[in-house]
Amino acid sequence: MGMGNPCGESNGQILESSSHKMKNPSHSFTRWLFRFCGSIKLAMLLLTVLIVAIIVGTFIESRLDAAVAQSYVYDAPWFIAWLILLCVNLVGAVLVRYPWKKHQIGFVITHAGIVTILVGAIIGRIWGFEGSITLFKNQPPSDYLMTGRQILEVKSGDTTETHELNLSSKVPSNERPEKLKLGDLEVAAIDFAPELGLQTHVEKGTTGGAPALRLVMTSAMVGQPFDRWIMLDNKRHGQIAFGPAMISYQSGAPRSDVESDTAESNLVPSRELHFAFAKMPDMNIARPAAGAPTGIKSVYEFARDQTAADYRGKLELITDAGSFTFAVSEIIGREVPLEGTHWSVKFSNYFADLRMQGKQAVSVSEEPNNPAILFEILGPLVAENTTATDSVAAHGHAAHDHSAHDGHQCEEHSGKSGTSELKLYRAANGKLKFEARSRSNGSQQGEIKIGEEFTPGLADWICRVEEVTDHAVVRQELAPLSEDAPQRTGATGLLVRSRKGASTDTRWIRMGKITPVELGNETIEINFAHKLHNLPFTVQLEKFEVEMNEGTQNPGSYKSHVRFHDPKKEMTLTRAVWMNNPSNFPQFTGAGLLGTTYKFSQSSWNPDNLDETTLQVIRDPGWSLKWIGSLMLCGGLFTIFYLKPYPRFAKKAASVPRTTPVIPASKPQPENVLA
């Protein structure tokens, strides 16, 4: 007797069912695909890739930057697609077990919670945003945020085109430019610089300007020639620091008795360098470069509430004959005598935001965050070998303003002031002469003919005045921060190539500044800036408070009092925002849980300006789903591990047809228990 069919189907029914499946292969494939989408194998693959991606993203964020990690991982399209595929797998794992049994309730709730969290994360990534807003007291309210993205915007006539950049993951180049087109106008970003510097050029013009000459110097030891325009009698561009030598171009003629009157040639004006700081008015740094100390004290004051464009502060000099006060902007480039004394003050340089880089003083920005000035006190002639210090360079390395503006580092003074120098003179009749002094070759002088070489005695350098002009102009251009462009701007830059027909223009564009570009007969405007997000309301800073730790000058906490105003809903709200205490607008019960409002958190502040604050702003429309999913996940896990709604095992099961030999009656029969 054969074994019976446990499903109660006849052989004919089985054959009919098998024949039906063979006739419908699409039904079989759909069933396989449905089961595969909910399989544990697919789940393990998805989770493995997801874990590896998160590890890589965390490594990138710690080693590079959070913006780079977001561009390559968290905000990447493939990562969002992977989360969607994981949601499909979790939903499939639940549906393949339908209809669900009582002991599967916790399993269903747990999977539904995970899917809800993932959906909330996807919604937040796609439709949410994060930005910052900087507010100033007594300034008009602001209605936009600054995001981490950058845009390239071009305006031609009445047409404006915008292209979004992702510089964290894709830096443009000549091979991979970021292009933007307006008809026959093509604008392409071909390079990016983290910070731009200013390059100063003196070049030949056609009209206006000032007299200048072009000096070319060559050396057998140095392969690259020195080729530079030098302006006549110009404080900034009329003298150049050339290694250990100083080159200058001035009116007049060399002293005729240089060779005969050695004593006179060794007389130099007494000179004392002063550094004055607005934040430390009582600190007076003075170092004599030639002669004895003057004993003159200086006090530098800077008022931040001044609005004049050329405002540089106020300098007070205290001498035995009395005190003298000057507006710094009025003595720039001048030598002003101190009446009733043998001294005069000569302004050298102004630093809006002073920092020391190595031995050189530089200004890292144009904002007056740490104002300082460098000036000289000049006096009677003294012997050249009476220099009183050999450490001037450490305190006044940028003493000459040509160092700060042309980016050439001045020589360190020790023993003698001006070890080597080359002076080029222009007489009233237009003739050119030179006078050179060096330790090794002594003094030399002679006449200069345009285009002919002369030897000044500075090592093996050979000089030639290539051409002269009466119309030299000074031009500054942006370039990546380097030795050739040493003056910091504090702004990032984009190298943009504009092309229309036969006209082409390539230049660096500074972030946040609209740059006009002429192409043929047309002028276009190019703007490289952060992408802005408009707010449906305005935000204004009413007050900013800083609380210091007791007995110290260290800030303990800082708080922004912010006023929100929605003109459409006629809603006004004033809230205090400080660390770990954000504020939501619009404000209503549960606003922080929904995520549909704007959450403002204290981000940073400016210690030098207590009327400035920066707030971080986040809007995440998927926030509520993340909360709901988290609660569902906790509830599902609690159900699985603590409620245990499993069916009770039956003690006896219904009899089933026997397929084994009958056991003798003398032996007891075991019970049939359903597992």
Each residue's pLDDT tens digit, 149-169: 889 999 988 889 998 888 877
Look at residue 452 in the predicted model and tell me its pLDDT.
Answer: 92
Q: Which amino acid is at 8?
A: G
Query: Is residue 230 within 8 Å of 404, Cβ to Cβ?
Result: no
- Other CB atoms within a 10 A radius of the CB of residue 500 amount to 19
Is the pLDDT confidence value at 22 over 60? Answer: no
Residues in the chain: 675
Instruction: State how far the Cα of 268 lies from the Cα of 380, in Å rounded to an integer.
Output: 8
Q: What is the pLDDT of residue 25?
A: 61
Helix (H) or strand (E) holding 487: strand 487-488
Q: Are 599 and 544 in contact (CB under 8 A)?
A: no
Element (H, E) at 573: strand 571-578
Mean pLDDT of 30-41: 80
Lowest pLDDT segment from 364-368, 610-614, 630-634:
364-368
Examine the pLDDT at 458 and tell me if it is beyond 80.
Answer: yes
Residue 326: helix, strand or coil by DSSP?
Answer: strand
Lowest-pLDDT choice from 112-121, 231-240, 256-265, 619-628? 256-265
Share of the chain above pLDDT 90, in %: 16
SS3 for 600? strand
571: tokens are 């809603």
CA torsion through residues 650, 655, 661, 666, sign: positive
- Under the banding of pLDDT at 50, 70 and 90, the label for residue 79 is confident
What is the structure's pLDDT at 468?
Answer: 92
Q: pLDDT at residue 345 above 90? A: no
Helix axis angle, 105-127 relative to 623-638, nearest 10°?
A: 160
Q: Is the pLDDT of residue 413 over 50?
A: no
pLDDT in tens, 525-546: 999 998 888 999 999 999 998 8
Predicted pLDDT at 383: 63
- 374-393 tens-digit pLDDT: 888 888 766 665 544 333 33
- Asked if residue 411 has pLDDT above 80, the reply is no
Q: Does residue 49 have a pLDDT over 90?
A: no
pLDDT at 438: 81
d(CA 418, CA 399): 13
| Range 46-68 average pLDDT | 81
**Which position has the token pair 């504020």?**
583
The edge-to-edge listing of strands for the beta sheet with 239-242 is 239-242, 245-251, 420-426, 432-438, 442-448
How far apart (Å, rounded) are the C-alpha atoms in residues 294 and 387? 13
DSSP H helices, 358-431, are 392-396, 401-406
Give yes or no for residue 518 having a pLDDT over 60. Answer: yes
- Structural tokens at position 482: 């380097």
pLDDT at 646: 53
Q: Beta strands of 114-255 (E only): which ranges?
A: 129-136, 142-156, 159-165, 178-182, 185-193, 196-204, 210-218, 226-231, 239-242, 245-251
Predicted local confidence at residue 410, as pLDDT: 35
The tokens of 599 are what?
């959450």
Average pLDDT, stretch 612-618?
91
- β-strand partners of 2: none
What's the CA gap between 503 and 185, in Å, rounded?
Answer: 10
Q: State residue 24's pLDDT score.
A: 58
Q: How confident is the model at residue 87 (pLDDT cuts 50, 70, 90)?
A: confident
189 pLDDT band, cuts 50/70/90, is very high
Identity (one letter) of the amino acid at 142? S
Spatial CA neighbour of 658 closest among 674, 648, 672, 646:
672
Please give the Cα distance from 606 to 307 (Å, whole number): 19
> What is the per-residue pLDDT for 319?
83
pLDDT, residue 102, reads: 83
Segment 292-317, tens digit of pLDDT = 788 888 889 888 777 777 788 888 88
Q: How do residues 219-230 score in pLDDT, each as one tens digit?
A: 887 778 888 899
* Number of neighbouring beta carbons within 10 Å of residue 29: 10
CA distance 242 to 438: 13
Top-ranked range on mean pLDDT: pick from 251-260, 479-488, 505-514, 587-596 = 505-514
CA distance 273 to 346: 10
Q: Quote the CA–CA distance of 517 and 506 in Å, as a whole number.
A: 9
- Cα separation, 56 vs 79, in Å, equals 12
Tell me the pLDDT of the chain averaged across its residues: 79
Distance of alpha carbon 528 from alpha carbon 132, whole angstroms: 18
